[in-house]
Amino acid sequence: MLKMTHLSKVYRTEVVETYALRDFNINVKEGEFVAVTGPSGSGKTTFLTIAGLLETFTGGEYHLDGVEVSNLNDNARSKIRNEKIGFIFQAFNLIPDLNVFDNVEVPLRYRGMKAAERKQRIMDALERVGLASRAKHYPAELSGGQQQRVAIARALAGSPRLLLADEPTGNLDTQMARGVMELLEEIHREGATIVMVTHDPELAARAQRNVHIIDGQVVDLAEDPRFHHAVHAARNNAPA
Protein backbone atom coordinates (compact mmCIF):
# COMPACT_ATOMS: atom_id res chain seq x y z
CA MET A 1 0.00 0.00 0.00
CA LEU A 2 2.73 2.45 1.04
CA LYS A 3 6.34 1.74 0.17
CA MET A 4 9.28 4.12 0.56
CA THR A 5 12.72 3.01 -0.56
CA HIS A 6 15.94 4.89 0.25
CA LEU A 7 13.87 8.01 0.54
CA SER A 8 15.50 11.26 1.63
CA LYS A 9 14.26 14.74 2.41
CA VAL A 10 16.75 17.57 2.65
CA TYR A 11 15.95 21.14 3.65
CA ARG A 12 18.55 23.43 2.12
CA THR A 13 19.45 26.98 3.01
CA GLU A 14 22.39 28.96 1.67
CA VAL A 15 24.61 27.79 4.48
CA VAL A 16 23.30 24.48 5.69
CA GLU A 17 21.69 21.26 4.53
CA THR A 18 19.43 19.51 7.02
CA TYR A 19 18.36 15.91 6.48
CA ALA A 20 14.84 15.42 7.79
CA LEU A 21 14.76 11.88 6.37
CA ARG A 22 17.80 9.89 5.27
CA ASP A 23 17.83 6.51 3.50
CA PHE A 24 14.31 6.01 4.82
CA ASN A 25 12.64 2.67 4.13
CA ILE A 26 9.15 1.57 5.07
CA ASN A 27 6.60 -0.83 3.65
CA VAL A 28 3.03 -0.71 4.93
CA LYS A 29 0.76 -3.45 3.66
CA GLU A 30 -2.90 -3.06 2.92
CA GLY A 31 -5.01 -3.39 6.05
CA GLU A 32 -2.12 -2.81 8.46
CA PHE A 33 -2.27 -0.48 11.45
CA VAL A 34 1.24 0.95 11.84
CA ALA A 35 2.38 3.31 14.54
CA VAL A 36 5.33 5.52 13.55
CA THR A 37 7.11 6.58 16.68
CA GLY A 38 10.17 8.54 17.63
CA PRO A 39 11.31 11.50 19.64
CA SER A 40 10.47 15.10 18.75
CA GLY A 41 12.33 16.28 15.65
CA SER A 42 13.06 12.75 14.49
CA GLY A 43 11.23 13.23 11.18
CA LYS A 44 7.87 11.59 11.98
CA THR A 45 5.72 14.43 10.69
CA THR A 46 7.94 14.96 7.66
CA PHE A 47 7.42 11.28 6.84
CA LEU A 48 3.68 11.71 7.21
CA THR A 49 3.46 14.83 5.00
CA ILE A 50 5.50 13.10 2.30
CA ALA A 51 3.36 9.98 2.65
CA GLY A 52 0.29 12.20 2.26
CA LEU A 53 1.74 13.92 -0.86
CA LEU A 54 1.71 17.25 0.94
CA GLU A 55 5.42 17.62 0.44
CA THR A 56 7.90 16.44 -2.15
CA PHE A 57 11.00 14.42 -1.33
CA THR A 58 14.59 14.89 -2.40
CA GLY A 59 15.66 11.36 -3.33
CA GLY A 60 14.60 7.72 -3.36
CA GLU A 61 11.29 6.21 -4.38
CA TYR A 62 7.78 6.27 -3.04
CA HIS A 63 5.06 3.96 -4.31
CA LEU A 64 1.55 4.60 -3.10
CA ASP A 65 -1.00 1.95 -3.98
CA GLY A 66 1.42 0.77 -6.67
CA VAL A 67 1.96 4.21 -8.23
CA GLU A 68 5.38 5.94 -8.23
CA VAL A 69 4.42 9.43 -7.13
CA SER A 70 7.64 11.42 -7.56
CA ASN A 71 6.80 12.68 -11.06
CA LEU A 72 3.14 13.44 -10.56
CA ASN A 73 1.97 17.01 -11.13
CA ASP A 74 -0.09 19.05 -8.69
CA ASN A 75 -3.43 17.97 -10.13
CA ALA A 76 -2.57 14.29 -10.00
CA ARG A 77 -1.23 14.56 -6.44
CA SER A 78 -4.34 16.46 -5.38
CA LYS A 79 -6.56 13.81 -6.94
CA ILE A 80 -4.73 11.01 -5.09
CA ARG A 81 -4.95 12.93 -1.81
CA ASN A 82 -8.63 13.46 -2.37
CA GLU A 83 -9.55 9.91 -3.39
CA LYS A 84 -7.10 7.62 -1.60
CA ILE A 85 -5.92 9.39 1.53
CA GLY A 86 -7.71 10.54 4.64
CA PHE A 87 -5.94 12.89 7.06
CA ILE A 88 -6.41 13.22 10.79
CA PHE A 89 -4.38 16.01 12.40
CA GLN A 90 -3.40 16.69 15.96
CA ALA A 91 -4.94 20.18 15.78
CA PHE A 92 -8.12 18.81 14.10
CA ASN A 93 -7.82 21.50 11.39
CA LEU A 94 -11.51 22.05 10.94
CA ILE A 95 -12.49 25.20 9.03
CA PRO A 96 -13.99 27.46 11.69
CA ASP A 97 -16.43 29.26 9.36
CA LEU A 98 -18.08 26.03 8.22
CA ASN A 99 -20.45 23.93 10.28
CA VAL A 100 -19.84 20.23 10.91
CA PHE A 101 -21.77 19.13 7.83
CA ASP A 102 -19.91 21.56 5.56
CA ASN A 103 -16.52 20.61 7.03
CA VAL A 104 -17.11 16.95 6.27
CA GLU A 105 -18.30 17.92 2.82
CA VAL A 106 -15.02 19.67 1.82
CA PRO A 107 -13.16 16.67 0.31
CA LEU A 108 -16.32 15.41 -1.37
CA ARG A 109 -16.81 18.78 -3.09
CA TYR A 110 -13.37 18.49 -4.67
CA ARG A 111 -14.28 15.04 -5.94
CA GLY A 112 -17.19 16.55 -7.89
CA MET A 113 -19.70 14.25 -6.22
CA LYS A 114 -23.42 14.84 -6.71
CA ALA A 115 -25.27 16.55 -3.84
CA ALA A 116 -27.41 13.53 -2.89
CA GLU A 117 -24.41 11.21 -2.65
CA ARG A 118 -22.47 13.82 -0.70
CA LYS A 119 -25.25 14.17 1.81
CA GLN A 120 -25.57 10.40 2.22
CA ARG A 121 -21.85 9.96 2.80
CA ILE A 122 -21.64 12.89 5.21
CA MET A 123 -24.51 11.64 7.33
CA ASP A 124 -23.11 8.08 7.27
CA ALA A 125 -19.69 9.33 8.40
CA LEU A 126 -21.20 11.49 11.14
CA GLU A 127 -23.37 8.58 12.32
CA ARG A 128 -20.26 6.46 12.52
CA VAL A 129 -18.47 8.92 14.79
CA GLY A 130 -21.67 9.56 16.76
CA LEU A 131 -22.13 13.20 15.78
CA ALA A 132 -25.03 13.15 13.31
CA SER A 133 -27.05 15.28 15.69
CA ARG A 134 -24.36 17.97 15.64
CA ALA A 135 -24.30 18.44 11.86
CA LYS A 136 -25.33 22.09 12.06
CA HIS A 137 -22.96 22.99 14.88
CA TYR A 138 -19.81 25.00 14.31
CA PRO A 139 -16.40 23.71 15.48
CA ALA A 140 -16.24 26.30 18.24
CA GLU A 141 -19.42 24.80 19.70
CA LEU A 142 -17.84 21.34 20.09
CA SER A 143 -15.41 19.81 22.58
CA GLY A 144 -11.89 18.82 21.46
CA GLY A 145 -12.89 15.16 21.30
CA GLN A 146 -15.95 15.97 19.24
CA GLN A 147 -13.87 18.12 16.90
CA GLN A 148 -11.46 15.25 16.38
CA ARG A 149 -14.40 12.96 15.66
CA VAL A 150 -15.60 15.41 13.04
CA ALA A 151 -12.09 15.39 11.53
CA ILE A 152 -12.21 11.58 11.47
CA ALA A 153 -15.65 11.71 9.84
CA ARG A 154 -14.21 14.08 7.24
CA ALA A 155 -11.35 11.67 6.61
CA LEU A 156 -13.72 8.68 6.36
CA ALA A 157 -16.43 10.29 4.22
CA GLY A 158 -14.40 9.85 1.04
CA SER A 159 -13.76 6.12 1.77
CA PRO A 160 -9.96 6.47 1.52
CA ARG A 161 -7.63 3.45 1.10
CA LEU A 162 -5.17 4.96 3.58
CA LEU A 163 -5.69 6.93 6.79
CA LEU A 164 -2.79 9.10 7.94
CA ALA A 165 -3.08 10.27 11.53
CA ASP A 166 -0.65 12.77 13.06
CA GLU A 167 -0.78 12.58 16.86
CA PRO A 168 -4.57 12.19 16.70
CA THR A 169 -4.98 12.29 20.46
CA GLY A 170 -2.26 14.82 21.18
CA ASN A 171 -4.65 17.64 22.00
CA LEU A 172 -7.17 15.54 23.93
CA ASP A 173 -7.57 14.55 27.56
CA THR A 174 -7.24 10.87 28.46
CA GLN A 175 -10.91 10.01 28.23
CA MET A 176 -11.41 11.74 24.88
CA ALA A 177 -8.15 10.22 23.61
CA ARG A 178 -9.36 6.75 24.53
CA GLY A 179 -12.59 7.32 22.63
CA VAL A 180 -10.77 8.50 19.51
CA MET A 181 -8.33 5.60 19.69
CA GLU A 182 -11.18 3.09 19.97
CA LEU A 183 -12.74 4.66 16.94
CA LEU A 184 -9.52 4.27 14.95
CA GLU A 185 -9.24 0.63 16.02
CA GLU A 186 -12.80 0.03 14.92
CA ILE A 187 -12.08 1.63 11.54
CA HIS A 188 -9.01 -0.58 11.20
CA ARG A 189 -11.00 -3.71 12.02
CA GLU A 190 -13.29 -2.79 9.15
CA GLY A 191 -10.32 -3.04 6.77
CA ALA A 192 -8.71 0.40 6.62
CA THR A 193 -4.95 0.84 6.38
CA ILE A 194 -3.83 3.26 9.10
CA VAL A 195 -0.48 4.92 9.61
CA MET A 196 -0.40 6.83 12.87
CA VAL A 197 2.42 9.08 13.98
CA THR A 198 2.72 9.31 17.75
CA HIS A 199 5.23 9.71 20.50
CA ASP A 200 2.90 8.10 23.02
CA PRO A 201 4.07 4.53 23.82
CA GLU A 202 0.58 3.57 24.99
CA LEU A 203 -0.94 4.46 21.64
CA ALA A 204 1.94 2.82 19.79
CA ALA A 205 1.32 -0.38 21.73
CA ARG A 206 -2.21 -0.57 20.34
CA ALA A 207 -0.99 -0.64 16.72
CA GLN A 208 -0.17 -3.90 14.94
CA ARG A 209 3.36 -2.83 14.20
CA ASN A 210 5.73 -0.10 15.33
CA VAL A 211 8.16 1.74 13.08
CA HIS A 212 10.61 3.78 15.11
CA ILE A 213 12.42 6.81 13.66
CA ILE A 214 15.51 8.48 15.02
CA ASP A 215 17.31 11.24 13.14
CA GLY A 216 15.31 10.65 10.00
CA GLN A 217 16.00 6.92 9.74
CA VAL A 218 14.00 3.84 10.62
CA VAL A 219 15.74 2.02 13.46
CA ASP A 220 15.10 -1.07 15.52
CA LEU A 221 12.88 -0.19 18.46
CA ALA A 222 15.51 -1.76 20.72
CA GLU A 223 17.82 1.12 19.89
CA ASP A 224 15.55 3.34 22.01
CA PRO A 225 15.42 1.20 25.20
CA ARG A 226 13.25 3.56 27.25
CA PHE A 227 10.61 3.81 24.55
CA HIS A 228 10.94 0.08 23.85
CA HIS A 229 10.23 -0.79 27.47
CA ALA A 230 7.36 1.68 27.66
CA VAL A 231 5.69 0.10 24.63
CA HIS A 232 6.17 -3.39 26.05
CA ALA A 233 4.79 -2.32 29.38
CA ALA A 234 1.75 -0.77 27.71
CA ARG A 235 1.16 -3.96 25.70
CA ASN A 236 1.39 -6.10 28.82
CA ASN A 237 -1.03 -3.85 30.68
CA ALA A 238 -3.52 -3.74 27.84
CA PRO A 239 -6.83 -5.55 28.46
CA ALA A 240 -7.02 -8.91 26.72
Q: How far is the CB of 118 from other proteins (least distance, A)?
A: 10
Q: How far is the CB of 16 from other proteins (least distance, A)?
A: 18
CB-nearer residue toward other proteins: 31 or 171: 171
CB-nearer residue toward other proteins: 163 or 231: 163
As a whole number of angstroms, the distance between CA 218 and CA 25 comes to 7
CB-nearer residue toward other proteins: 41 or 130: 41
Q: How far is the CB of 111 from other proteins (least distance, A)?
A: 7
Q: How far is the CB of 25 from other proteins (least distance, A)?
A: 21
Q: Give the count of alpha carbons within 13 A of 203, CB side only.
A: 29
Q: How far is the CB of 197 from other proteins (least distance, A)?
A: 11
CB-nearer residue toward other proteins: 84 or 212: 84
Q: How far is the CB of 237 from other proteins (least distance, A)?
A: 32
The gap from C-alpha 199 to its chain's centroid, in whole angstroms, comes to: 14
CB-nearer residue toward other proteins: 109 or 232: 109
Q: Residue 151 in contact with residue 92, Cβ under 8 Å?
A: yes
Residues near other proteins (CB under 8 A):
45, 49, 52, 54-55, 74-75, 78-79, 81-83, 87, 89-91, 93-95, 97-98, 106-107, 109-112, 115, 154, 158, 166
Pairing verdict, β 209-214 and 33-37 = parallel
CB-nearer residue toward other proteins: 154 or 188: 154
